Structure 1
Amino acid sequence: MARRPPDEETLLGVARACADVFVAAGDSSPTVATLVAAAGLSERTFHRWFPTKPDCLRPLFDDGNRAYAAALATQPADLPLGEALCRAFVATFADGSDDSSRALMRTVFGDLALRRVWLEASYATTPALRPGVATRLGTTQDAVATTVGCGQAIVLAIAALTHMVEDGLTAPEAAAAVGAALFADVPHH
């Protein structure tokens, strides 16, 4: 009998439990045994679900990125891309100013293996962003302008999260600062 893959909520629960372990350690040094004990899994299941130890955070990153793409799709059609991206970022990551989210991202930024997974997840958001970016730009999903717009969306999220953690900015402050640097249509604050 074939095994069914775990559902998103199960994976998110495991990712959250593992995130707490990484944050407590301050890096990716905890063993798989420590992670599975916190997540309530067997080591065999952990290795079946995640190719590497840091990959156990991927469901958490993917969830945030999907929410960002969905928030972009709900922005008013008359907003320029830069402003729509800033608003989508704020709608998605305003809760990222809580202590636990900042602690996780601080840990991710300080650990090469964890940062690799976060950046891979960030760049893998492009397919989810394409419809919203293409619609806003009046282009097709495979147009060069759409690809560039998706890249700008990803850079905005990466840079804004970085400044939220490193500089203590709120999501609106970080989005406005990064948006102003990326786009002429975003008001400078």
Structure 2
Amino acid sequence: MTIEERKERTRMMLTEAAAELFVLKGFDQTTVEEIAQAAGISPRTFFRYFATKDEVVMSFLWLKVDKLLGSLAVRPKEEELLESVQVVFRSSEADGNVERDRQLLRLLATTPSLRARWLIDGWESAVRLRPIIAERLGTEATNPRVALIANTLFMVAETVLDRWSVEGGDFVDELVTSLVLINRGGLFSRGDAPA
């Protein structure tokens, strides 16, 4: 195992341990020392990877976003964007601990420092989504329609995730239903639909 692989493994152990503890005890009640102990490392090692508890929980969530973006980027270009979004989110559901993810999202909604970070990072991820959308639409990432689509996808996902974290249900179905409703004007379709 290379040094980079070991570092990535340690980072994953920390994020998994933190996620479990945050769900079990709550964000404010969980200490860095407890996270480090659960991951089998020292608190000093924790701080080599993360400066704060906020960073470790956000890292866990944004690793999921990175995976979603990567999966969307490799979907067939001729596939409709809404279909690709549905397939990507459905496969991510099968890959994870859905109940833990719901509880972490509920934690985001009730912890002001995490909520603020989630919103900021969400907008940054929407910017990272633009080249993927632009390639699918056959246009430039600077096209205003591309920014509108990326921002809309993230805001709809966040809205549905907020509701899902409290009420449960089928997140992907609700997400797709919401996106279909917005798409009635053709926003996500190929071609010259209005921006």
> Relative to structure 2, which stretch is displaced further, 64-73 or 77-86?
77-86
- Cross-structure match for 1:22: 22
- Cα pair distance change 1:18/1:97, threshold 3 Å: closer
> Relative to structure 2, which stretch is displaced further, 12-21 or 42-51?
42-51
- Cross-structure match for 1:137: 137
- Cα pair distance change 1:61/1:121, threshold 3 Å: farther
What CA distance in whole angstroms lies between the structure 2 residues aligned with 1:131 and 1:74? 12
SS in 2 for 1:141: coil
* Deviation, structure 1 residue 14: 0.7
Amino acid at match of 2:183: F
Counting matched residue pairs gives 184
Superposed CA offset, 1:87-113 (max 9, x none): 333332355673222222222222222
What CA distance in whole angstroms lies between the structure 1 residues aligned with 2:105 and 2:174? 15
* Deviation, structure 1 residue 74: 3.2
Contiguous gaps of at least 5 residues in structure 2: 189-195
* Deviation, structure 1 residue 63: 1.6
1:146 matched to 2:146? The reply is: yes
- Contact 1:71 1:88 (C-alpha < 8 Å) held by counterparts: yes
Q: Percent identity over the alignment?
A: 26
TM-score normalised by the chain length of structure 1? 0.79
Amino acid at match of 1:86: Q
What CA distance in whole angstroms lies between the structure 2 residues aligned with 1:180 and 1:145? 17
What CA distance in whole angstroms lies between the structure 1 residues aligned with 2:110 and 2:116? 11
- Contact 1:68 1:88 (C-alpha < 8 Å) held by counterparts: yes
- Cross-structure match for 1:171: 171
- Contact 1:27 1:110 (C-alpha < 8 Å) held by counterparts: no
TM-score normalised by the chain length of structure 2? 0.77
Alignment of 1:100-119 (within 5 A): 100-119=100-119
* Deviation, structure 1 residue 136: 1.9
Which of structure 1's runs of 4+ aligned residues deviate more than 4 A?
A: 3-6, 94-97
Amino acid at match of 2:64: G
* Deviation, structure 1 residue 180: 2.8
- Contact 1:108 1:118 (C-alpha < 8 Å) held by counterparts: yes
What CA distance in whole angstroms lies between the structure 1 residues aligned with 2:135 and 2:40? 43
What CA distance in whole angstroms lies between the structure 1 residues aligned with 2:94 and 2:120? 22
Superposed CA offset, 1:119-178 (max 9, x none): 343333235423321112221123322222221222233223223222212133222232
